[in-house]
Structure 1
Amino acid sequence: MKLMRLGNRDEAKTPCILDAGGTLRDVSSIVADFTPTTLSAALIETLKATDPSSLPAVSADGKRIAPPVAQPRNIWCIGLNYSDHAAEAGMDIPSEPILFNKSSATYCGPNDPILYSPRMTKLDWEVELGIVIGTAALNITREEAMEHVAGFVLVNDLSERAWQLERGGQWVKGKSYPNFCPTGPMLVTPDEVGDFNDLDMTLDVNGQRMQSGSTAKMIFDVPTIVSYMSEFCQLEPGDLICTGTPPGVGAGMKPPVWLKPGDEVRLSIQGLGEQRQAVVETSGGRP
């Protein structure tokens, strides 16, 4: 099952499923929206049992693709979770997952602009596999973890490296500018993703391939991450967990390469769709 939402920011969204033929189907007769409150195993089963041809077809032409689930309660991240990225960063492979958060204002649609502040100097990209929690999880085992996962999404975990690494404090400072977490275009359920431990990942900047990796290089896999996090906090329905990035980030280039206004970023993960973002300078709020 592939879940999508259409609609502008601060307006009601149209919840859709993408059928096997690639047609979007409006499911608002079944659920008003995909939210942390409505997202559930029961809803997914209801959608799977519904004949897509019985639902109205809808076109995305000229419409904003919203994140596939409405605003999550929490956005979690795992740092240095790819062995080849840790080597690129010159850091030791962590013995336990490195956890941090992103501000809720980072959450945006897959093609929304990347906002560039005049105070930024080292804006960087990170293609990542995102986990969306389906049912609350607290103190669960690794074997139970997938029972709590609604599906997977494509994420760009944008980072301002000077703020993250040179301004003191925790990483969250360089991870939390508005629109720093483009998510989507779709949420894909685990049964349709297939082997989420071996998905190809790519990211291009201005048409040049920067990142080319695979989730097979993750140090801590999806069940391990979900189980591990549930020891310290309760994962809530709709929560997004960004699971780390492969090598090829701007900070790892020699010399480093940073995003600037006018740049275009395109990224994809096998089976999860593609994002396309323009870097836009702003000194005010989100467009």
Structure 2
Amino acid sequence: MKLASLKSGGRDGTLVVVDRRLERAVRVPHIATTLQQALERWSEVAAPLALVTQELEAGVRADAFAFDTLQAASPLPRAYQFLDGSVYLHHMEKARKARGAAMPPNYKTDPLMYQGLSDAFCGPHDPLLLPDESLELDYEAEIAIVTDEVPMGTTVEQASSYIRLVMLLNDYTLRALTRTELPKGFGFLQAKPTSAFSPVAVTPDELGAAFDGERFTLRVRSSVNGQRMGEPDAGRDMFFTYPQLIAHAARTRTLSAGTIIGAGSISNQDESVGFGCIAEARIHEQGVHGAPRTPWLRFGDRVCIEAFDVTGASVFGAINQVIEKGVRSK
């Protein structure tokens, strides 16, 4: 299934089922009015939602309408919990070296993870509002999962069964603030503004062989102002898997239904595929040219992130945003 949330209907949006081509959609208020509501009743609603998908694909839904990604909020416009990890150690090592920070002593035994802003996410085509260009805004192309309720103490072997949805994530970072904020030892706060997610979230079965229960073998392309930055494979060079991230997060707490977990900026050791963030591109340029050439994001820049399956079809739709000067009022 492919599910989305329209902006109409309040802060949690209106749940719709979307066809595989991302062209048609159906509202399903008789099943669930919001995606959060569906996740909290997944055992009851999964089969009815799947039936709607079948009918939509068969072209027998008279109530279907054109799906406009401009009218889509992030699949979960807000969430009770958003956790982001860093499982591509190649990226972590380079990012820390760039800001003069050592790797933590246990980085190969325990995943790095922080709890991010989750009370309001950007829509996939909404502008990202930034108060000041000098904060060195960077994008990070990621794949995130959404869980069912996960019991405390869930093991790695059990964790995959709690993955309900998959989506793209642009986890913005203010690089100028990481250099002053992270040495305090309390993690991210100001350095992580709101994030954005793809127009649709998909159930793992929708990905077929691209999901092996642990990782997603998908090419994730990113560009700035139409210039391709990279197209790394999300399934390659992962040191920790999604089940390991779930088990790590649930060690001492229950995860509520609708918890979002990211895996960090996608990074392959083969740099010929490019990069999933500006920071890595600048580090590469520093080594090759003696100085970075790619600027941090500025007002008016457009960032696009999209994932493709083996046929070249877009899996989640694109996150396509312009950076604008301003602050969010709500």
Matches within 5 A, 1:69-88: 69-79=76-86, 81-88=87-94
- Match for 2:249 among 221, 229, 233? 229
Aligned-pair CA distance for 1:257: 2.6
* Residue 140 of structure 2 is aligned to residue 112 of structure 1: no
CA distance in 1: counterparts of 2:151 and 2:90, whole angstroms: 30
Q: Which has the higher strand share?
A: 1
The equivalent of 2:72 in structure 1 is 65
* Residue 126 of structure 2 is aligned to residue 124 of structure 1: no
CA distance in 1: counterparts of 2:123 and 2:116, whole angstroms: 15
Q: CA deviation digits over 1:15-37, x for unaligned, max 9?
A: 21112454212212321221156
CA distance in 2: counterparts of 1:43 and 1:28, whole angstroms: 11
CA distance in 1: counterparts of 2:263 and 2:255, whole angstroms: 15
CA distance in 2: counterparts of 1:234 and 1:12, whole angstroms: 22
TM-score scaled by length of structure 1: 0.89
How much identity, in percent, do the aligned residues show?
Answer: 24
> What amino acid is aligned across from residue 303 of structure 2 in structure 1?
V
Runs of 5+ unmatched residues, structure 2: 268-274, 287-291, 309-314
Matches within 5 A, 1:32-47: 32-35=33-36, 38=40, 40-47=42-49
The equivalent of 1:185 in structure 2 is 199
Choose 1 or 2 for highest CA Rg: 2
Change in Cα spacing, 1:63 to 1:259, as seen in structure 2 (3 Å) is: closer
| Contact 2:12–2:77 (CA under 8 A) maintained in structure 1 | no
TM-score scaled by length of structure 2: 0.78
The equivalent of 2:271 in structure 1 is none
* Residue 178 of structure 2 is aligned to residue 176 of structure 1: no
The equivalent of 2:323 in structure 1 is 279
> What amino acid is aligned across from residue 237 of structure 1 in structure 2?
A
The equivalent of 2:270 in structure 1 is none
The equivalent of 1:242 in structure 2 is 262
Displaced runs of 4+ in structure 1, greater than 6 A? none
The equivalent of 2:305 in structure 1 is 267
Judge which range, 10-19 or 205-214, deviates more.
Answer: 10-19
CA distance in 2: counterparts of 1:259 and 1:171, whole angstroms: 23
> What amino acid is aligned across from residue 91 of structure 2 in structure 1?
H
Aligned-pair CA distance for 1:230: 1.1
CA distance in 1: counterparts of 2:17 and 2:36, whole angstroms: 14
Judge which range, 31-40 or 257-266, deviates more.
Answer: 31-40
Secondary structure class of the residue paired with 1:104: coil
CA distance in 2: counterparts of 1:153 and 1:121, whole angstroms: 27
Runs of 5+ unmatched residues, structure 1: none
Judge which range, 46-55 or 128-137, deviates more.
Answer: 46-55
| Contact 1:204–1:267 (CA under 8 A) maintained in structure 2 | yes
The equivalent of 1:18 in structure 2 is 18
CA distance in 2: counterparts of 1:105 and 1:269, whole angstroms: 25
* Residue 2 of structure 2 is aligned to residue 2 of structure 1: yes
Secondary structure class of the residue paired with 1:204: strand
Aligned-pair CA distance for 1:276: 0.1
Aligned-pair CA distance for 1:214: 1.5
Aligned-pair CA distance for 1:104: 2.3
Aligned-pair CA distance for 1:286: 4.1
Considering only aligned residues, what root-mean-square deviation do their CA atoms show, in Å? 2.4
Aligned-pair CA distance for 1:173: 2.2
Secondary structure class of the residue paired with 1:215: coil
Change in Cα spacing, 1:27 to 1:224, as seen in structure 2 (3 Å) is: same
Change in Cα spacing, 1:201 to 1:41, as seen in structure 2 (3 Å) is: farther
> What amino acid is aligned across from residue 44 of structure 1 in structure 2?
A
- Match for 1:162 among 153, 159, 176? 176
CA distance in 1: counterparts of 2:77 and 2:318, whole angstroms: 19
Secondary structure class of the residue paired with 2:318: strand
Q: CA deviation digits over 1:114-138, x for unaligned, max 9?
A: 1111274211110000110122332
